[in-house]
Amino acid sequence: APRRTGRMIVEAFAGQNILITGATGFLGKVILEKLLRSIPDLGLVYLLIRPKKDKSAEQRLKQLISSRIFNRLRGERKDFEEYAWNRLRVINGDVAAENCGISEEDSRHIIENVNIFIHSAATIDFTAPLSDSINLNVLGSLRLFAMAKKCRRLVAFTHISTAYVSCNMRGTIEETLYPLDFDASDVLQEMLNTDPAELDKNEQKIMCGYPNTYTFTKSLTEHLLADKREGVPLVIFRPSIIGAAYKEPTPGWLDTVSAASALYVTAGMGIMKFMLARRPDRIGDQVPVDIVSNALIAATADIAMQNRLNVIHVGTSKNKPLTWEYVKKTIVPYLLRRPPKRTFSKPSFMFVTSDAVYNSLYFFQYRVPIAAYNLYARFLGDDEELRQAQLWASFEKRIRKMVGNFNYFVNHEWIFDTAHTYEVFNKMPPHEQEEFNFDIAKIDWEEYLLAFCYGMKLNILREEDTIYHLEDRNCPMYLRRDLGADFWWAWSGGQGVNEMYKVNPPEKLKSSVLSSQRVQDAIVAESETEGLPVNQIEARAREVIEMMAGTVNMGILRTQGYLFRKFYRYYYQGIFVDELGIRRVAEAAKRGPVILMPTHRSYLDFLLTSFVFYDHDLPVPRIASGDDFLNMFFVSWMFRQSGAFFMRRSFGSDNVYRSIFTEYVQQVVSLGHPLEFFIEGTRSRTGKTLPPKLGVLSMIVDAFLQGGTENISLCPITMNYERLIEEEAHGRELTGEKKEKPTTTALVKATASKLRHLNFGRVNVQFAEPISVEEYVAQFASAESHENPSFDPSNGGKDLWKVVESLGYEVVESFHREMVIMSTALVAALALVHRDGISVDLMADKIGWLREQIVLRGSRVDPIEGTNMEILEHCMPLLDTLLITKRNIIEPNFPAGKFGKIQQLSMYRNNILHVFQRECHVVVCMNALLKDGSSSVSLDALRELHTTLSAMFVSEFVDKKRDQMFMDTLQRMESYGLLKVEGERVSQVLTEYHHEDMWMFLGEMIYPFVDSYWVAAVTLLSMLGKPNGMIERMLVERMQWFAEKHYHKGAIRYCEAGSKEALRNAIKHFSRLGVVLVNESSSIELTADYKDNKDKLMVLVDRLAAIRRVPADPTTYPLLSRM
């Protein structure tokens, strides 16, 4: 049908007065809210409200206006209360009474003024006596319709019926009035002439195959209204099973427990455990209430002023079918992860396909226990136990009634045609299709069903702290031990995995890669260079691809899933997943390949990413793993079978290997396989983010630029651990101990040694906003082309590398934005700031203070529940080997000579450095400049020293924008009350005691790194006059020796200054300054300018000493000449 260009709905309702019945009911409220919110020129709205014993119609209207359903409108209109009272008019009435219980004066007013009738009032009780249903559903509708026909300016009458008026039929139900087997008027008259008691007694015979009085009376009403229409524009509106709101006014809104919501509430509270469904794969036609409301308003507008009858179905069975099995599969896992606070037992639910099995289960699960408890309570129990017995008996009665009501509809299936519905939709202009959307085909059932559960908890169970699932960034994975749950999860999940790799099996990549033009060219070039036959180089290439390539074996994946689920349950208190983020990744995967880029802190990162994706029915990623895993035969075989492929740490000059790996990566991406690699290159032993390694990223960007793959999305992921399994190994490596070569034997030993620690706390997995490679490259190229018109990254070279480098650092920034600060990081940081000891009570207070400071700066902390003291009590067992408590004082556990412990504690502290490091730089510079006793410093001097310090720590703290954000950092610190900028002077303020605490905290976070660089510089004095260089390992060991000696002498406050990583970064800095030179044999020596120039080297040492917290002792320097 042709579209209209105007505003079909808004124009049809403009200035029109409407009368609504049933406005205090679930659907009526939604219709009223939508009319008030989306039709600004609406006339008056008359609400026919039945007074109750304890409330007048006016009081019920006041209660209605205060309903939560109008919260959105309250937020959009500050004058909502005034607007509502001006727009709404209450009519005392009851459709069950003659003339709808309306006074003569109100009747005259309605006849003179009302233009549109929306009749929603009805009894929806399936078990209501037939006599009551006839009076309310049939006669009530006819009474209101008779009044409408008297109206002088009647525009439309919309009667809300149900799609199940034809439930005595099967198959596809069209939008029409099917002939009845009897005359509707005659049957109605006969029933009215029958005694109500007799009528109710014979209702099954009278209803002619209808399952309940509700559907029978609704069907009868439709035919009677059609017979009496006489030119009235009439909509017979048939929704199916109405559920919670999808989008409007808020996702999941509902305020009644009926139909599907009754099933979900009882299942969520652990009351309803099973239901008879002979075929759970049958369609259960559920439709969101806002879809119903929008369709009703549109259908009413469509028929306005037209002499016709239109029957409208609003159901999902034809355009977006939903099965009962899918409902269970979606809702039960959510209820297990986020159970209601008030439950009678663990939420669980299943469909039983056998009547005999169902009856047996029901008898033994409900009837027998409740009857037994009732007998006990009656004869032996106290008053409370008797009350509980009565409560359970009431629940059993409700369950029986609900099962009886639902049974017919769960075990039968209908397809409700929606041709008329879409005719109306297609007449609407695009902006109204968006504002009054009821396009059923676009419903996302998972999103809707989870919104339903959210609304159930928020609005029915009144759990105000309920998190909307699309905004849930800390949703716990369900890992509880249930009989057979691990097996069922492993063997029934992973459908997305199966589908992806069946279409594009990874095994085909081997031959495809070897036959590619890139690899063939590299083989020929290598043959010419080495003077060897081509077939010999090809044989070498086949060995490379065999060693490199991986596959995806569903059996292995399922086995791993089964085992790892048990592993995570035993070792961790919980794994919390960013549901909002993973939905973003899933949406990005629909558009094109996704590249997963997790932070790398533990070997578990490999497993955890795949585990989370498998749990969410997403394809597990192909993982680019280091070839050191090949030393672990069984582990490497398992990895290879579950999607991993292997790469050398360095390609060197092996161009054949480079071409094979590049081609393999690009073909993985072009096939749409999700690819995972660690942009940091290796695990961070220090807890800080490492500078990005750009090799694999450059291959991916190049694949896009060469046109082989479109819509690539980079998905940064942060893995946040309260306690690392490898913490001891990391600590040993940082103290200089040799890294143990990864072997299967070493893995078994390490695992066995950890079995004594069955508590590694919580893990939080966060997903940053996916980065579109196409959009990023386009924006970057546009910005660069202003300065360099010939900029073209598709030609490779420097232009490509410039894009890749910028993109790599953007990923690191995404890490920092999305990292969650775990509680152990807070405790470790505070323990190191107060390393001489801090009382338990003060530590608890400081935890709360530090959490607030982190949130103030826009970062996030792990939302662990409990008081500050409870959080501390939670952390202490996790840090039991690193902290000790004596006489209620907490201090680092630092046995003599065991520097590894303090390195481990520093690793956890460093997890929060990205939040504060810009301020830390300013504090260190301010302290250095204020040492002369002045109260303020020059802004230029501060900026100059800040630039120097920032350049020194360029490898230490990854932050490309630190210098350009210098003034912004000062302004933020000024807003925090730490300093004041006045013209060209900057002064320390610290007006309150907690400002002093923060200033000290910021300094203590970074001073250990200053000491590391000072130690490295002083150690270089030992190389003066030495003709030969020193390999890096030996030089670092010498630096660590010096750090330990001077720590014990008290010349160094921070024993973690001997960290191998920090000392190596210091050497890199000195290399950039031209102080040291790394020659071809990887030997380090002083450059010519410094080799015999002690004074020049002392300038470097003194500059670093000037910014240290502890002043240097020059008398120690001569000792170095003996090293």
In which element (H, E) is residue 637 found? helix 633-641
What does the pLDDT look like over 747-804, one tens digit per residue?
566 555 555 557 899 999 999 999 999 999 999 999 998 888 889 998 888 999 999 9
Determine phi and psi for 960, rounding to 5 degrees.
Answer: -70, -15
Contacts made by residues 993-1001, CB under 8 angstroms, sequence distance 24+: 994/849, 997/846, 997/849, 998/853, 999/923, 1000/833, 1001/829, 1001/833, 1001/850, 1001/916
- What is the 8-class DSSP label of residue 66? T
CA distance 1022 to 1118: 9
Highest mean pLDDT among 375-389, 398-412, 809-823: 809-823
Confidence check: pLDDT of 1114 > 60? no
pLDDT number for residue 507: 81
- What is the 8-class DSSP label of residue 459? I
Among 1073, 1078, 1119, CA closest to 1100: 1073
The two beta strands, 171-173 and 414-416, are parallel
Enumerate residues 6+ apart whose C-beta is below 8 A from 898: none
Confidence check: pLDDT of 5 > 50? no
Enumerate residues 6+ apart whose C-beta is below 8 A from 186: none
CA distance 714 to 536: 38
Instruction: Classify residue 71 as exposed, middle or buried by CB count within 10 Å of its CB (0-12, 13-18, 19+).
Output: middle
CA distance 901 to 903: 5
Residue that is written with structure tokens 């802004």 in the block: 939
Provide the β-strand partners of residue 576. Answer: 476, 764
**Model confidence band, residue 809 (pLDDT cutoffs 50, 70, 90):** very high
**Model confidence band, residue 542 (pLDDT cutoffs 50, 70, 90):** very high
The two beta strands, 309-314 and 350-352, are unpaired
pLDDT number for residue 1123: 46
What does the pLDDT look like over 137-174, one tens digit per residue?
999 999 999 999 999 999 999 999 999 999 888 889 99
| Choice among 398-407, 945-954, 1031-1040 with the minimum mean pLDDT | 398-407
Tokens read off for 465: 């702290």
CB atoms within 10 A of CB 82: 10
Q: Is the pTM of this model over 0.85?
A: no
Tokens read off for 364: 């033994």
In which element (H, E) is residue 204 found? helix 203-206
Share the mean pLDDT of the chain. 89
**Model confidence band, residue 746 (pLDDT cutoffs 50, 70, 90):** low
In which element (H, E) is residue 739 found? none
Mean pLDDT of 393-402: 78
CA distance 1085 to 1076: 5
- Give CA separation, 1015 vs 46, 1037, 1067, 1117, in Å: 83, 12, 11, 11
Enumerate residues 6+ apart whose C-beta is below 8 A from 254: 26, 243, 244, 245, 261, 289, 452, 455, 456, 459, 460
Determine phi and psi for 1097, rounding to 5 degrees.
Answer: -70, -35
Max CA distance (Å), the chain: 121
Tokens read off for 981: 């900028």
Question: Which of helix, strand or coil describes residue 1084?
Answer: strand
- Give CA separation, 445 vs 217, 322, 334, in Å: 31, 8, 14
Mean pLDDT of 710-731: 92
| Choice among 290-304, 656-670, 988-1002 with the minimum mean pLDDT | 988-1002
Among 477, 452, 463, 253, CA closest to 341: 463
Comparing 1122 with 315, the larger pLDDT belongs to: 315
Mean pLDDT of 499-524: 87
Provide the β-strand partners of residue 596. Answer: 676, 715
The size of the chain, in residues, is 1123
CB atoms within 10 A of CB 505: 12
Mean pLDDT of 94-104: 91
CA of residue 535 relative to chain centroid, distance: 52
pLDDT number for residue 76: 92
| Choice among 64-68, 118-122, 479-483, 777-781 with the minimum mean pLDDT | 479-483
What does the pLDDT look like over 25-72, one tens digit per residue?
999 999 999 999 999 889 999 999 999 888 899 999 999 999 999 999
Instruction: Classify residue 753 as exposed, middle or buried by CB count within 10 Å of its CB (0-12, 13-18, 19+).
Output: exposed
The two beta strands, 713-721 and 762-767, are antiparallel
In which element (H, E) is residue 270 found? none
In which element (H, E) is residue 397 found? helix 383-410
What does the pLDDT look like over 238-276, one tens digit per residue?
999 999 999 999 999 998 887 788 888 888 888 888 888
Residue that is written with structure tokens 């199940």 in the block: 164
What does the pLDDT look like over 193-235, one tens digit per residue?
888 888 888 887 788 778 888 899 999 999 999 999 998 999 9
Which H, E and C letters describe 149-182, residue by residue? Answer: HHCCCCCEEEEECCHHHHCCCCEEECCCCCCCCC
CA distance 446 to 334: 11
Comparing 439 with 1080, the larger pLDDT belongs to: 439
What does the pLDDT look like over 277-286, one tens digit per residue?
888 889 989 9
pLDDT number for residue 841: 95
Enumerate residues 6+ apart whose C-beta is below 8 A from 288: 242, 243, 244, 245, 246, 247, 443, 448
Provide the β-strand partners of residue 988. Answer: 979
CA distance 1069 to 950: 11
CA distance 1103 to 952: 12
pLDDT number for residue 2: 36
Share of the chain above pLDDT 70, in %: 95
What does the pLDDT look like over 893-928, one tens digit per residue?
887 667 889 999 999 999 999 999 999 999 999 999
